[in-house]
Amino acid sequence: MEYYIKAERYLMENEEKQGGYLLVSNGLFGGFSETVPLGSDVIDWSGHIIAPGLFDTHIHGIKGYDIMDGTAEAVHEISKAILQLGVTRFLPTTLTSSKTDLNQAIVAITEAVRQGLAGAQSEGIFLEGPYFSEQHKGAQNSIYFRNPDYEEFQEIKRLSEGTIVKIALAPERENTLEFINNVSKDGVFVCIAHTDASHDCCKRAINVGAQNFVHLFNGMSGLHHRDPGVVGAALTNPNTFAELICDGFHVHPDIATLALRVKGDKLVLITDCMRAGLMPDGEYQLGEFTVVMKDGMARTETGSLAGSTLKLIDGVKNLKSWSSEPLYKIWHSASLSPAASIGKDMEFGSISSGKIADYVVLNEQLDVLATAVDGVVKYRRG
């Protein structure tokens, strides 16, 4: 299938283009041109913006469903719900839990992917835990915390049929450096999270393969001028990625803007969304915890923030309003940078010839009008 897109603006990989036509051929982006051959198929989105599909690398659930439900249905419903929000790729994300529940969730994800997802496509599993520490546990259940075990991880990986691409851990736990080194060699991307590690401990973890910091400023020791902590390690290492939840609750807008200035294209916007996303205020379950959602903010009974109810497109809108950066750069924090964080930026994440043609059609208010995956429009508003 080959066609051209006609639009007002295009958020390209290194710039924003006005007018013209964008080729989509066999599910991939082709070249950009001012005219098209006579008789070409053209999809007319005049007056609108074409942007690359969003990629949420950290999402637990939405619209009443959660990955830890342990059902293929939950994965399918999450895939469909986020497609309407402009997300074309995602990493189904687990929580610290019992081995039985974790295994069931992993089996459900692999089953759903094998069946074929109708909406956003899974790019692999993100294991958030169970190798965390108590002090910054957040909504992770500490009764299941333990030291990293490479043999245990290999069992989980086999169960996932090799689809685990990312794991988060606390680097101060025993055996962690050896574990990071081993799983990194296996092609799994290691993140630092829910940790009270020292700055030096984080640097040692980075030296053996850790590449990312999960929900920056949350679930970690903070920044102090004489004790840089985990936040200091994230901000001062130019080669690591850092996730950010731009809902205005988890991180102050000025600090979010500071993180963008410091991390640049290594900043990755995420949602960390749980099942209360797109749902009314009330009580919900996050793993084994009861969570109360009020005015869009989800908290455990002890008052800890429990994931978020953020839409990734709203994170983009927020960061754009908080900063002075051009839209295409902000957008890439939720598309290209996430892809780069798991080594897939040459495959998708931006509008560039030869990349997978995932794209979103937007109006000037950045509302999602349509979403395409592999060049096929799978959602149209209304």
The identity of residue 179, as a single letter, is: F
Tell me 85's DSSP state.
T
Residue of 56, 66, 69, 272 marked catalytic: 272
Residue 320 CA to residue 323 CA, distance in Å, equals 5
Q: What's the rounded Cα separation, in Å, for the pair 47 and 306?
A: 39
What percentage of the chain's residues is helix, strand, coil (to nearest 5)? 30, 30, 40
SS (H, E, C) 10-32: EEECCCEEECCEEEEECCEEEEE
SS (H, E, C) 305-354: ECCECCCHHHHHHHHHHHCCCCHHHHHHCCCHHHHHHCCCCCCCCCECCC
What number of other Cβ atoms are within 10 A of residue 200's Cβ?
A: 10
- Yes or no: say if 121 and 182 are a contact pair by the CB < 8 Å rule: no
In Å, how far from its chain's centre is CA 14?
Answer: 21
- Is 281 designated active site? no
308/248 Cα distance (integer angstroms): 11
Q: Which residues are catalytic?
A: 272
